[in-house]
Amino acid sequence: MSTLIDELPAMFDGVKLAAVATILYIIVRCLNLKSPTAPPEIIYQDTLLSHYLLKTCPMLTKEYIPPLLWGKSGHIQTVLYGKMGRVNTPTPCGVRMFLPMQDGATATFDLFETIGSHTTGDDITMVICPGIGNHSEKNYIRTFVDYSQRQGYRCAVLNHLGALPNVELTSPRMFTYGCTWEFGAMVGYIKRTYPQTLLVVVGFSLGGNIVCKFLGENQSNQDRVLCCVSVCQGYSALRAQETFLQWDQCRRLYNFMLAENMKKIILSHRDSLLAMQCSNIGDGELNRLYAATSLMQIDDSIMRKFHGYDSLREYYEKESCVHYIHKITVPLLLLNSLDDPLVHPSLLAVARTLAEKMPNVIFALTQHGGHMGFFEGAVLFPQPLTWMDKVIVEYTNAVCRWEKKQSICQSSSE
């Protein structure tokens, strides 16, 4: 009996050691600490432009190093982006513009003038489309706009229709997955107001789908456009809906959380949607909205009806950029992260194939970064600017210099 009592402390020590080991194992697995850092995988055609861009954009060929303790977890990167946006967020000063649309809707965007001159000396405007339900007041947008202004870019940021809490709807519809009307109205205004300006098109997440679809819808939409950058989009809504119902990478949980956010946005305009004539939204649709637990259910009960689609499949087919993106002829940079919990790796085949076949496309795939995170930092605390912010501006600067050289060469040869 005394021998057993003597062995109890050693047994307890063994249990504690096993518990600590288990916890450390879970931490290492969850935080993905053993995953090595690496440069992005770059897929491109062997062209003079591609070689120039990769030479003058060192961030695309150097290691992306996230914060050591948590930066290799796509979930933590994504959650930090979703809840915090960025750290030490600046507050750029802009002017809100209101544009009446033909169907009675009122598009809004915020215009931020440049701080300083661009390296080329040209007048260049970034036209920016945020992610789902986002607008110019989101922290990641404010950080990117402030940085771009200081690099010599004027910035115009679309506020998705219905996303701003203090702006009422003036027609019975809101933003959808691929409607380009409001973005097109903003671009048209910029072209008319600044006849000498050149455009850089930037889209984040859902905004990446919208900008690529817009450019591919009509060749004239690419007039005066220097380049386009798309970040963390899924390329095909029809394919993405299947992966959003899967539990791997907690994708079903993210689907639920995004759906809850969309419900809040839609219900904030409940009275307007019900009161307007010609509205396709009634009490029946709103009752189904209350019960919805996924984006697909919301899209089927509400979103597709804003534009009169007969089925969810038709809505996803018609609103995805996958049918238009191959028509883009200006330089196009597609950025994605392999550990993005919202975008299944199978969806990236569209971007990969495009970059393998089209000379104007570069596809950059990082190992880490999550969905719209791409935080950088040493150990624990992230830097205010992300890898994403810096690489977009570095790429656009390189394209601007390339185009400047091309125009000088053409002028001298005439």
Catalytically active residues are: 205, 340, 371
CA nearest 340: which of 271, 413, 244?
Answer: 244
Backbone angles phi, psi at 317, to 5 degrees: -65, -50
CB neighbour burial string for 165-181, b if at least 16 within 10 angstroms, e if fewer: eebebbbbbbbbbbbbb
CA 66 remoteness from chain centre: 19
124: three-class secondary structure by DSSP: strand
- Cα 189 to Cα 413: distance, rounded to the nearest angstrom: 34
CA nearest 216: which of 359, 320, 326?
Answer: 326
Residue 217: how many other CB atoms lie within 10 Å: 17
Work out the end-to-end distance of the chain between its first and last CA atoms, rounded to an integer number of angstroms. Answer: 103
From the number of C-beta atoms within 10 Å of its C-beta (0-12, 13-18, 19+), residue 219 rates as exposed
Element housing 85 (H / E):
none
CA nearest 108: which of 95, 121, 120?
Answer: 95
**Separation in Å, CA 218 to CA 120, 282, 362:** 28, 34, 21
DSSP single-letter state for residue 382: B
CB neighbour burial string for 245-268, b if at least 16 within 10 angstroms, e if fewer: eeeebbbeebbbebbeebbebbee
